[in-house]
A = this chain, B = another copy of it.
């Protein structure tokens, strides 16, 4: 309450209300993805933290920095074990890089500065600061704070490693450079493109990437497919895999009789950039070692996609997207089965950013889209989300309406956890019986998405053809504020 009161006195801090903690933590992730700077959440004791943990997991896996402030009982009260008491450190540690319990009003300023420094380093970290009530309401010492801690900078890769990678590239053997995190955008991506142009190496990404700058004019990156069979086929001819801020590709799940590691037997894996290192600097060093600083990268040409007509299916949906996406929009993708294999059709769209779920916990897209829209008020955000996933954190719509955020939420309504049907088959569990299917289908009752949008103040429209889907997306960009498109499949 004192923290809330203090917000009123600090115009430099913007506060946004969310109706569920998972929306707040996901929005902080979305903010970081676009700003490369952490946001802070304010959560209520252990259970409030618990409600935010799934999207903290996703943010941690995306290397997004975040400061979670957890309100806690005052020290004098804790020993009586009142109802809301729990082991907050215990709940926070598995998904935090740094956890501290503030001990007095005198030191809380320094604690908060350290939390912000931890979250702001490279890679971003999850910093959790537990704030007991009495720490808020006690009088603070007026003594000046120690110099605030400094965030960790990106490290330089070693020269020997650069020399080794240059030798691999000069060999001319088939090589895939897998880019991730900060290497899939900006100057790092452009320089990776020069390395590819100067050698015969290909550029690739994991199936999920924190944020990719893609579309016309950007250096294109090929995406390793999700399914194990397609992924191993994609990778089988590479003699070398070079990793940049990531590890070698692994399957999302294990399956009976399928491999966990996706590379071919005999493929050699070389780390070029570790996750705490500087990709742009590494590519600069590599270009020098290759004597290729003047190389021009290949960039993606613009592909004018005609507006598709007729039935909605993964291809026509991707074509409608390619035709509709405005320049510099942001696409947050949690479409799972609907969008999974067809996003390559949007490679030649106008330049845009693509954001994926790095932690695999569903319910990430609507909060992350909310945070991305807060971070970039002049850019339209398209949030592609399956109906099952959307129901996890649907409260995001309310914050989007409240803040008049430019988010177009696209619900792929197949009335089913379609991904589970695919995984069911993958797992070798046979054909799902009636009862198993009843745990996978969500068509009874069918969710009324227009009513859902209306309930939280978001205008909605349902589409049943590719051309009406395209039109709805274009229309959504004409007015500020959120809207929801139900894509009936």
Contacts and interface: CB of A to CB of B under 8 A. Distances in A.
Contacts of A22: 51
Interface residues of A, number: 93
Interface in A73-90: 73-74, 76-77, 80-84, 86-87, 90
A61 B83 contact: yes
Contacts of A7: 435-436, 439
A427 B137 CA distance: 8
Nearest to A137: B256
Contacts of A2: 427, 429
Contacts of A51: 22, 51, 53-54, 363, 392
A50 B54 contact: yes
Contacts of A81: 247, 250
A46 interface: yes
Given A254-B134, A439-B4, A94 B83 contact: no
Nearest to A451: B455
A332 interface: no
Interface stretch (A266-274, A295-303, A394-402, A463-471): A394-402
A230 interface: no
A394 B20 CA distance: 11
Contacts of A143: none
A428 B137 contact: yes
A430 interface: yes
Contacts of A218: none
A174 interface: no
Nearest to A357: B83
Interface stretch (A284-292, A335-343, A375-383, A441-449): A441-449
Contact of A91 (B94, B252, B401, B455): B94
A301 B118 CA distance: 63
A436 B391 contact: no
Interface string A8-50: 1000000101011010000000000000000000000111101
A454 B456 contact: no
Interface string A333-367: 00000000000000000000000011111010000
Contact of A254 (B77, B91, B388, B424): B77
Contacts of A388: 19
B253 A82 contact: yes
B445 A402 contact: yes
A412 interface: no
B83 A358 contact: yes
Contact of A444 (B48, B402, B447): B402
23 contacts: A4-B439, A4-B440, A5-B424, A7-B439, A15-B439, A19-B442, A47-B57, A47-B361, A50-B53, A51-B54, A53-B53, A73-B253, A77-B251, A77-B253, A80-B260, A83-B208, A83-B359, A84-B360, A90-B94, A133-B254, A394-B394, A447-B455, A451-B455
In order of increasing CB-CB distance, the 5 nearest A-B pairs are: A445-B457, A77-B254, A47-B361, A50-B53, A8-B433
